[in-house]
Structure 1
Amino acid sequence: MSTLDSAPAPLRSPSDRVRHALLFECVALALVIPVGAYLFGLHTEDMDFIGVGSAITATAWNYIYNLGFDHALRRLTGSARKSVGVRVLHTLLFEAGLQVVLLPAIAWYLRISIPQAFSMSFSLALFYLVYAFFFNIAYDWVFPVAVTRVPPSALPIASE
């Protein structure tokens, strides 16, 4: 193993995480609000409220979840890089956590039962599952994590 291999994998900066979360939600809202209002037969104002409320909730969750996931991934594997399988797991866990909060909120706002809200929430989750998978691949391609070269003298001496 070279000395560069022993350096921890770089993580995204806080400002990069904010950019990621904002871009993710803005692009999603541009798609979800008009299509969702049409598909669910809602007034645009109701879909605006659900969309923006969901986006605010998801943005906060996105930052916290991705920070924790990347740290856990790096701790477990030594890298924050995600394989396709890890990306699928990442996306599924993100959406599951988000649904715990959003499902009752949608039911309350629309004054419908949880089972009735489930079809809307589940449909939105399916959209976001696919969207998140491709958005994150595109984001990583457009904004790759900067790899910083660490001089060998700054690394701990590896035992032979």
Structure 2
Amino acid sequence: MQPIERLFHAVLFEVLAISLSIVGLMVFTDHPVTKLSGTMITVATIAMVWNMVFNALFDRLIPGKREERSFMTRIMQVIGFEGGLLLITVPLMAWMLSVGLWEAFAMDISVTLFITVYAFIFNYCYDHLRAAILRHRQGNAGHDHLPV
């Protein structure tokens, strides 16, 4: 992927993730959409920054080729990332939505589980749609098709 497509992929992923998270929280809570929107945009922004910070620190702590990391190392990386993110976002969500820590934790865990499944589905669909578009473009390369 070229940098512009990576940017498109990341923005599309985040816009859909935030939108779907807001809709899900609207269905299961009684919080107004304005508060949920602000909260989810803030949480997504923190997650992106935390991702860069955490993974830079993790790469220093666990040197070597990333593709050679063991399954257990990858599990520890995910647990460390998500655990750190929860420590940051649960109190923030509690404050922004005026709820207790337990309710904020339950909402945050729900969003985290949703995002995990969503990321799998989104990337699967994106990759297959991208491949189909590229095949279509390659099949039409060199052919001038005028609209009828």
TM-score interval for Structure 1 and Structure 2 normalised by the shorter chain:
0.5 to 0.7
Higher helix share: 2
Show the counterpart of 1:55: 44
Indicate how the Cα distance of structure 1 residues 98 and 108 shifts in structure 2: closer, same or farther if over 3 A, else same.
same
Q: TM-score, normalised by structure 1?
A: 0.59
State the alpha-carbon separation in 2 of the partners of residues 88 and 23 from structure 1.
27
Could you tell me the percent identity over the aligned residues? 30
Deviation string, structure 1 residues 72-112 (Cα, Å, up to 9, x no partner): 44x1xx31115554443322221100010111111111212
Show the counterpart of 1:40: 29
Is the contact made by 2:36 and 2:97 (CA closer than 8 Å) also made in structure 1?
A: no
Is the contact made by 1:21 and 1:62 (CA closer than 8 Å) also made in structure 2?
A: no
Within-5 A mapping of 1:18-97: 19=7, 24-73=13-62, 75=63, 78-81=64-67, 82=69, 84-97=71-84
1:103 aligns with 2:90: yes
Deviation string, structure 1 residues 19-42 (Cα, Å, up to 9, x no partner): 486565334213212222222232
How many residue pairs get aligned? The number is: 121
- Structure 2 residues not aligned, in runs of 5+: 129-148
Q: TM-score, normalised by structure 2?
A: 0.63
State the alpha-carbon separation in 1 of the partners of residues 10 and 86 from structure 2.
17
Superposed CA RMSD in Å reads: 3.2
- Structure 1 residues not aligned, in runs of 5+: 1-14, 143-160
For 1:96, the aligned partner's letter is G
